[in-house]
C-alpha cells in the first residue's frame, strides 16, 4: 500500500533535490523514497556496528580464540587462488 504525505523543507534544499532528481531521471517520490531507505539502511548499519563493538567489549576473545582465528586466516590465505 502506498500513502501520500506532505512535507515542508527549505527552498534551497528543495532546489538541490530538484536538480539531483532531474539528473537521476526520477520523480520526487522516487527521490525521497530512495533517500529515506538509504538513511534507514545507514542507521541500521551503524546500530549493528555499535552492537558488535559493545558485544566485543563485553566478551572479548581469549588467547585460544585469537590463535584459532589466526590459524584459520593463514589457511584461507594459503588456499586462495592467486592467479
Question: Is position 5 within any domain?
Answer: no
Find the mean pLDDT for residues 2-23.
97
In a domain, 67, yes or no: yes
- Asked if residue 63 belongs to a domain, the reply is yes
CA distance 27 to 5: 15
| pLDDT tens digits, 22-70 | 999 999 999 999 999 999 999 999 999 999 999 999 999 999 999 999 9
The predicted structure's pLDDT at residue 79: 83
Residue 82 lies in a domain: no
- The answer to whether residue 18 sits within a structural domain is yes
Cell of 34: 530512495
3-state helix, strand, coil in the chain (%, to 5): 75, 0, 25
How is residue 9 written as a grid cell? Answer: 523543507
In a domain, 35, yes or no: yes
* Distance (Å, whole) CA 58 – CA 41: 26
- Number of domains into which the chain is organized: 1
Is 0.75 topped by the overall pTM?
no
The C-alpha cell at 73 is: 586466516
Domain range for 36 is: 11-77
What band does 15 get if pLDDT is binned at 50, 70 and 90? very high
Amino acid at each position: 500500500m502506498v500513502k501520500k504525505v506532505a512535507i515542508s523543507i527549505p527552498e534551497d534544499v528543495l532546489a538541490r533535490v530538484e536538480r539531483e532528481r532531474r539528473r537521476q531521471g526520477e520523480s520526487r517520490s522516487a527521490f525521497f523514497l530512495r533517500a529515506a531507505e538509504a538513511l534507514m539502511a545507514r542507521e541500521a548499519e551503524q546500530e549493528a556496528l555499535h552492537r558488535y563493538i559493545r558485544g566485543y567489549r563485553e566478551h572479548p576473545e581469549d588467547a585460544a580464540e585469537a590463535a584459532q582465528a589466526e590459524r584459520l586466516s593463514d589457511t584461507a590465505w594459503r588456499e586462495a587462488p592467486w592467479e
